[in-house]
Amino acid sequence: MRIASAGEAAAILAPYFEGADEERVAVLHLDGEGRLIGVTHELSGEPDSVPMPVRTILVSALRLGAEGIVVAHNHPSGDPSPSEADRDATRRLAEGCRALAIRLVDHLIFAAGAESRSMAEMGLL
């Protein structure tokens, strides 16, 4: 399956976030053609915070041979707007990806239901 847009990535990830009352992180791992080669998940168990596990994400990407990743997390509060902490974590992840020649394709933020925002579409990547 090839992931060519934020909407396609969101459609794959939405079921993982739907109804979640704690923050979660999921990563789509892509090959050089944008085809899905793996999915990884992180769960904090906390209602309003999950650290962006940059090291874990990058190790998983390397283990899977990913050339690109789409990262997503949810805001159980219902507001999919990126916080300053989200922006900082995305910058750290993008730096790590660049160092390893892995493309950070997007960072999606989900709210209640299937509503999501794409940081790439917002010009934040």
**Residue 113, in any domain of the structure:** yes
**What pTM was estimated for this model as a whole?**
0.91
With respect to residue 50, please indicate whether it lies within any of the assigned structural domains. Answer: yes
pLDDT by residue (tens digit) across 64-76?
999 999 999 999 8
Residue 114's nearest CA partner among 2, 13, 5 is: 13
Report DSSP state, residue 20: -
Q: Pick from 122, 109, 89: which is nearest to 10 by CA?
A: 109
H-run or E-run covering 37: strand 36-43
pLDDT at res. 69: 98
Residue for token digits 């999919």?
Answer: 80
Task: Specify if 13 maps to a domain.
Answer: yes
Residue 1 lies inside a defined structural domain of this protein: no
40 falls within a domain: yes
Tens-digit pLDDT profile for residues 21-36? 888 999 999 999 999 9
- What's the domain count of the chain? 1
Does residue 123 belong to any structural domain of this protein?
Answer: no
Could you report the per-residue pLDDT of 91-111, keeping only the tens digit for each? 999 999 999 999 999 999 999
Q: Which amino acid is at 63?
A: R
The CATH number for 28's domain is 3.40.140.10
Q: Which domain holds residue 109?
A: 6-118
Q: Is residue 124, in this structure, part of any structural domain at all?
A: no
